[in-house]
Copies of this chain bind each other. A is one copy, B any other.
Amino acid sequence: MANYISKHSLARLVGHFTQNDLSGAPEGFKPHPKPVYLSFGVPNSGFFPIESIHATVKDYPFEQNAGSSSVANSNGTTNGTTNGDHKSLKETNESFITTPAHTDDPKLIDIARGLQYSEVNGLTPLLNFTREFITRTHKPGYEDWSTILTSGASDGLLKAADVLLDPEDVILIEEVTFSPFLSSVKHFGGISVPVKLNIHNGSDGIDLEYLLDLLENWETLKPNLRRPKALYTIATGQNPTALTQTLGFRKKVYALAEKYDFAIIEDDPYGYLTLKPYEKPAKEADLQNLPTVEDYLKNELTPSYVTLDTSGRVIRVETFSKLFAPGLRLGFIVAHKNVIDAISKYATLVTRSPSGAAQIVVNNTIQLKFGGLEGWLEWIVKMKATYSHRKNVLLQSIYESEAFEKKYVDVIDSKAGMFAVAKVNFPEGTDVPAKIRLLHFKFINYGVNVVPVVSMTVDKEFSKDKANFFRLSFAPASNDEELAEGGRRLASAIYDFFEKGLEY
Contact = CB atoms under 8 A, between A and B. Distances in A.
Contact of A475 (B30, B34, B40, B324): B40
Interface stretch (A51-59, A225-233, A252-260): A51-59
A80 B53 contact: no
A416 B355 CA distance: 27
B450 A38 contact: yes
Given A41-B473, A445-B31, A329 B349 contact: no
A57 to B, nearest CB: 5
Tallying the copies of this chain within the complex gives 2
A75 interface: yes
A210 interface: no
Interface stretch (A60-68, A193-201, A407-415): A60-68
A67 B16 CA distance: 39
A463 to B, nearest CB: 13
A289 interface: no
Interface of A: 14, 16-18, 20, 22, 24-58, 61-68, 70-75, 77-80, 93-98, 100-103, 105, 108, 113-118, 151-152, 154-155, 158, 179-180, 183-184, 187, 239, 321-322, 324-330, 349-358, 360-361, 365, 368-369, 379, 383, 386, 394, 418-419, 437-438, 440-441, 444-451, 455-456, 471-478, 482-483, 485-487, 489-490, 504
Contact of A35 (B95, B115, B448, B473): B448
A53 B54 contact: yes
A322 B115 CA distance: 11
Nearest to A17: B455
Contacts of A105: 77
B74 A93 contact: yes
Given A29-B444, A51-B66, A117-B321, 12 more contacts: A31-B445, A36-B483, A37-B486, A43-B418, A50-B55, A50-B365, A54-B56, A71-B72, A78-B103, A180-B349, A355-B358, A357-B361
A414 B61 CA distance: 53
Contact of A75 (B20, B24, B118, B368): B368
Contacts of A46: 61-62, 478
A68 B51 CA distance: 9
A98 B352 CA distance: 29
A29 to B, nearest CB: 5
A22 B442 CA distance: 11
A114 B355 CA distance: 14
B116 A103 contact: no
The interface centre, meaning the residue of A22, A352, A357 with most chain B CB atoms within 10 A of its CB, is: A357
Given A29-B504, A44-B477, A98 B70 contact: no
